[in-house]
Structures are given as structure tokens and as C-alpha cells.
Structure 1
Amino acid sequence: MALPDSMSPRWPVVTELSGIESGTRAADALPATYHYRETAGKHAVGDPADDTPTFLTRKLSLGGLVALLKHLWFAGAERPATPLHSHLAMGREIVVLDRMDMHLLWANEGKLFVKPIPRFLLIPAFCQANLLCPDGCMCGDPPPNACRGIPRKVALGFLYTYACLISSEIDFHIANEKRILPRKSNDQPIEWAEWKSLARELLRIQEHDPGELHPRFRRAEIRLSRINTISRFTSFPLFNPYFRGHHNYGSLFRDNLAWMATTTVFIAVVLTAMQVGLATEQLRDSATFQQASYGFTVFAILAPIGAFALVILYALFHVAKDLPSLLGAGRRRTAVRRAERGA
């Protein structure tokens, strides 16, 4: 239901979904725990109720994608999100990943990463209390610690993508099946009529005040492989991908050796054709063809060796990067075992 005009909060979404509230306290709308990276790059787990503003800043952060915003034209066109049923028709698998910076990134293997809607973003009272700037805030650049301008725009842009993803009852049933929509307190799905009201409200925000939505969400689906390419050449250290699709070195070598084998077959076909050409009278005496054959032969010898060397260097780079954390974890485990034996 929608709140009366006299009670409309400053939070631009006023539609309430029945049964979404888990209780009377704001902490009831939050998850049990959340994962984040500390400033030193270490992985940590926190309690969102301890510091709700910090939790929202981290949970609604676009991470490394912020530094790539001006290059997103290379990874995706400006357009609304495609409905969920269309993604399934294209053969894409909807993969649930609770990361705002991975929302609507799609991989060449046919995966579409989708962040589920957190329950607290569908409670207007919670958003009114936690996602609005204090009086007098000018949302500067960089914004002060109390500013909620960026998390608010990310939240509204994120919800807008769902208004586009779930545009029909088919999309609505797919979303409930994938559990990317929050459930009611009795574990029942929200009503279709309520979702329609919320989606139309989000569309009106885009039509009348598009500046309320974060610019990231002007481009809905963006290609992960191109984001990785941008990151390799614009971030430090160089050649570091945005999202590591390889979680072990076996898959790294297997995938790279696959394209290297395909390239080698193509090179072999070209060399065979050149060998046949050198046997003909027309090309045997051609100095240009002789030079081209010589150059491609040298390339065919050096290119596979160079490509394989690059894969080895890439693996060694990640070994060197992961080694300090692995050694630190080993030292911590050894210290714990010694303490247990001492006790």
C-alpha cells in the first residue's frame, strides 16, 4: 500500500509491502552478519547492528567499479535491464551473488550475476531513517562521513534495475524461484499486485528525477570480460582482473591452454597453406611471399612459447600476491595450536 501524501517521507519510495517487516526494531530488517574487506585488504565479518551506517556504506558500495565508471561504455550500452525471462531465453544462468559491484555483470560462459534485494531496502521507514543525509548536507566531493548521498543513489539505482528485470508475472515467478526477492516473515512470497505498485513508483523516479539514480545503473548488463580487460590496463598492479574467474591454478592453465591449442591449429593451417604456395611456380619466385612466409614462420615458433610464458608469469604473479596471506594464516594456526598445547 502507499502512504498518504501528508505522511510521505523524504525517501522517494513510499510503497510498503505487507509482511516484509520482521519486527518493530530496525535491527530486525538487517542480515545476521555481513562480509567485507578491511583497509589492509583482509577479509572480515561484522555485525550490521553494531554500526548500521557503516554497514550500509559497505553493503551498498560499488567497490572497484567506481574507478571504471568512465570506461563502462566499452562494456555495455546505456539501456534498461532486460527482463529475466529474456535472459533465460538467451541461455544465461542466473547466479545469485550478494555483491553490489557484481550486480548484472554477465560472463561469456552464460552466467548472469544478480544481487538479491535485501529486505531492508523494501522498508521505507528504515530507508528514511538510514539512507537520507542529515540536514544541511551538501553531498560534496568527496562527501563527508555523515553523507548518505552515494549509498542512497546506489540503492535507488539498484531497485530501478529490478523494476526492469521483473516486468511481467513470468519474471516475478522466476525471481521468486531464484530467491532474489525477499520473502514475508511467514516465508511466503510477496504479492504480485504489491510488486507492480513498487515497480511503477521506481519507474516514475527514473522519469522525473533520474539524478537520484547512480550513473552505474544507466548501463544495466555489462560484460565481465570487458570489465576485466579495462581493469588490467587501468588499475594497479597492472594485468590484475576485476573479478578472478579462476579459483585454482588447474582451471587457469586448462582454460588458457584451450585457446592456445585453438590458435596453434589455426597457425598450423596457415603454415600448411604457405608450404603449398611455395611449391607453386607463381609464389615460389615471389620475394614478397617469401618474406611473408619467413616472418610468419618465426611468429609461429615464438608466439606459442611467449603465450605459455605469459600464462606462467600470470600464475606466478598471483602466487606472489597470495603468499603473504597464506603465510600469515599458517603462522596464526601455528600460534593457536601452541596456545592450545600450552593450556
Structure 2
Amino acid sequence: MESHLARHLTSETTGLNRMLTFNNRDRTLSRQRGAQLLPGQPRVYLDDGKLRTYLRKAHLTFDLDKIAPHLWLVVTPHHAHISALHHQAVRGRVPVVAESPHLHLVWYHDRIFIKPIPPYLLSHAFWDYIGETDKELWKTLAGFMRTYAYLIQFEVDFCKAQSQELGLIPARDDGQDPITFERFATFIAPFSKIHDSEVSPRFHFGELRLTRLNMFARVFLRKATYHHINAQWNTYLGTFMTPFLTVFVILNTVLTAMQVDLGVLNLPQVSNSWGVFAVACRWFSVLTILLVATALIFIFIVIVFMLIHDQVFSYKVRQAKKKDAIAAAQLKSGVV
């Protein structure tokens, strides 16, 4: 497969992990020493015929690839829309390790899910094997590795990724030599240079918001949700009950104000002191209705503005990508 990455791996580096060898004649992987197991995955043998099945299940993102043509409607349409690992905390997000490929760089309120790099992806021989045997998987893995070129931008990101808490990057190679930031940066750099045409559709985008994916799943995937976060039914139903209760409170406020107004109109002639109070009640009820109406109109305008703003920004990014992909990555929406 001709690409920036393929040429780099072929001519300039041997990777960070050398425990695998690739036999181009029969297109098989083997270990240089030890049991014939996939590095980092002791349950998968290299020669049992199920290797590709495991790799496809562990890395392909079928659902996201399916809805990718529509994702520009709800997310920034650029693969570089990924905050560095240290900046995730600045944005109030806690990185959470998730092995599911469908959750990689999916965020939900104060969490963002990140899939670790398995040791075999640091092997030159493994990339030769995938390039020869499974082009679809190669494109997915290349896109996955490209995300780490943006996640790990500074040494503080690298240290955080290698911490015991996260363990997103192996700490040592197969020779037990430390994988330093400098070594990793040299290895990961070519991934940032590959184009969208060389990766799977999901990785044409960066971070994805889970709430919007859940909405898209109901329309494009015919599923109730993309991923269940809440295991308890009361929490799950609460996401539906909150807007209903909000509408109920608003309507109840308006109806109460209308009842006060009608009640004042039907009052018999009263003394001056109570008459002033009745007039005040009537005007206050009218004012309450006007305030509720104004608030609803304001919220509606804000929602419409946000929708239009997102679409205009997405259009600008897509147009900028046609001229200069690097410049497009620097565009900011200015709205959270």
C-alpha cells in the first residue's frame, strides 16, 4: 500500500517493537522467540487462523464508518479536531481507558474514552503483514495511530499516557529498553502526514460527542442508542423525563398566570385597597406570561443560532480542507 506511512516504515524505521517477523512468501506472522502469541494479547495465537478475526473485531469501527458521511452535520469535519491529552483536563474531561474501538475519542460530559496502543502496533513486521493481508484493517489502524499524533503532542502528554493509571502506551519495548518520548515521537510523526483518503471514514473526524452519536444511532443505525452509559433504568429514563418536566413546569406557570388574570376579571366590585391589589395581580400575571414567552423565544433563537453556526463552521472547514488541510485544522468555531 503506497502512502506516507508505508514508505516511512519500509525505508526509514524498524518500529519500536521487534519481536515479530513477517514472512512475505506465505504472508504470515511469527515471533522471533517465545510462544507464538500476539504481543500484548496472550489469548490469540499467530498461527491458528483466527488472528485476522480478532484484529478486525478489536479495531474496525463498522457503525461509525456507516454514519461517517453524515457526521459533518454534528461534529467538526476534520481529523485534527483532537485535544492533546493534557488539554483534555483543561476542558474538564477525565481520560478513561476503553478497549472498544467504537469508543475511541468519544466523549460524554466529563469523560473521554481512549483506546490504548497495543504492542503489536509498534512493530514494523506487523504493518507489513496488515498491508499485505487486509487493506481495510490497515486503513483503520493507520487512522487510529494518527489520532495519537494529536493526543501526544508534549512530553507531559506522553508521561500521562504511560502512567500506571492509563497505560495508553507501552513503557518498554521487547528488549526491555524504555520507550522514551523522543523515540515515540519519531515513530508516530509519519502518521500525522497521511491523508484522509488513506484512512477509514471514521477517522476523517476527531473527537465525537456521545449524546449526538446516540441521536444519530436512532436515525441511521436503527438502534435505541449508540452506547449505554447509564446501567440503571432510572438514570436512563431521567434523560427523557427532564425535558418533559421542564415543559410541564413552563406550561403550569403560564396556566396559573392565566387563571389569576381570569380570576381578577371575574371579581365583583371591591374597595380601593383590594382593587389596587387585584390590578397588580392582573398585571403581574400578564408580565409572567410575557416573561415566559420571551424566555422561550430567546432559547429558540439560541438553539437556531447554534445549529446554523455549527453548519456554517463545518462548511468553512470542509472548504478550507480542499485548499490547505493544515490551515483547516487551525480553524476555531469560537463557540463551545
Structure 1 length-normalised TM: 0.62
Partner of 2:139: 153
1:271: Cα distance to partner? 2.7
Conserved in 2, the CA contact under 8 Å of 1:105 and 1:113?
yes
Return the offset for 1:150: 1.0
Cα pair 2:98 2:116 within 8 Å, conserved: yes
Letter in 1 for 2:180: E
- Distance in 1 between residues matched to 2:75 and 2:180, nearest whole Å: 33
Q: 1:152/1:175 Cα in 2 relative to 1: closer, same or farther (>3 Å)?
A: same
- Measured after TM superposition, the shift of residue 47 of structure 1 is 6.1
- Equivalent position of 2:32 in the other structure: 24
Between 1:254-263 and 1:215-224, the stretch displaced more is: 254-263
The answer as to 2:98 corresponding to 1:114 is no
Structure 2 matches for 1:157-172, cutoff 5 A? 157-172=143-158
Question: How far is the alpha carbon of 1:78 from its aligned partner?
Answer: 1.9
SS for the counterpart of 1:94 is strand
Distance 1:274 1:149 in 2: 67
2:212 counterpart residue number: 226
Cα distance between partner residues in 1 of 2:31 and 2:60: 26
Moved more, 73-82 or 110-119: 73-82
Task: Give the deviation of 1:216 after TM superposition.
Answer: 1.4
Task: Map 1:125-144 to 2 at 5 A.
Answer: 125-129=125-129, 131-133=130-132
**Residues 65 and 200 of structure 2 are in contact (CA less than 8 Å); yes or no, is this contact kept in structure 1?**
no
What is the distance in 2 between the residues matched to 1:271 and 1:15?
A: 73
Partner of 1:182: 170
What is residue 56 of structure 2 aligned with on the other side?
57
Cα 1:275–1:49 change in 2 (3 A) is farther
Cα distance in 1, alignment partners of residues 72 and 178 from structure 2: 37
Cα distance in 2 between the residues matched to 1:64 and 1:32: 28
Amino-acid identity (%) = 27
1:271 is matched with which residue: 249, 255, 274? 255
Q: Does 1:66 align with 2:65?
A: yes
Change (3 A) 1:257 1:192: same
Going from structure 1 to structure 2, the CA distance change for 1:168 and 1:264 (only over 3 Å counts) comes to same
* Cα deviation code 1:220-261 (max 9, x no counterpart): 00111111111112233xx51111223232432444444444
Contact 1:163 1:200 in 2 (8 A): yes
2:201 aligned partner: 215
Give the corresponding residue for 1:196.
185
Unaligned runs of 5+ in 1: 1-6, 34-45, 135-147, 283-288, 297-343
Secondary structure in structure 2 of the residue aligned to 1:106 = strand
Tell me the residue number matched to 1:322.
none
CA distance in 1, matches of 2:12, 2:228: 36
Shift of 1:198: 1.7
Matched, 1:245 2:234: no
Give 1:74 deviation, angstroms.
2.6
Summarize deviations over 1:289-340 as a string: whole Å, max 9, x none: 9xx9xxx9xxxxxxxxxxxxxxxxxxxxxxxxxxxxxxxxxxxxxxxxxxxx
How many Å separate the matches in 2 of 1:189 and 1:270? 67
Amino acid corresponding to residue 126 of structure 2 in structure 1: F
**Partner amino acid for 1:249?**
W
Q: Distance in 1 between matches of 2:143 and 2:12?
A: 12
Query: In structure 2, do the counterparts of structure 1 residues 259 and 125 end up closer, same or farther at CA, with 3 Å as the change threshold?
Result: same
Q: Which residue in the other structure is 2:297 paired with? A: none
Distance across 1 between alignment mates of 2:253 and 2:176? 60
Shift of residue 92, structure 1, vs aligned partner: 0.7
Alpha-carbon spacing, 1:75–1:172, altered in 2? closer, same or farther (3 Å): same
Retained in 2: the 8 A contact 1:13–1:202?
no
SS of the residue corresponding to residue 167 of structure 1 reads: coil
What residue identity is the alignment partner of 1:181?
Answer: I
Say which one has the larger Rg: 2
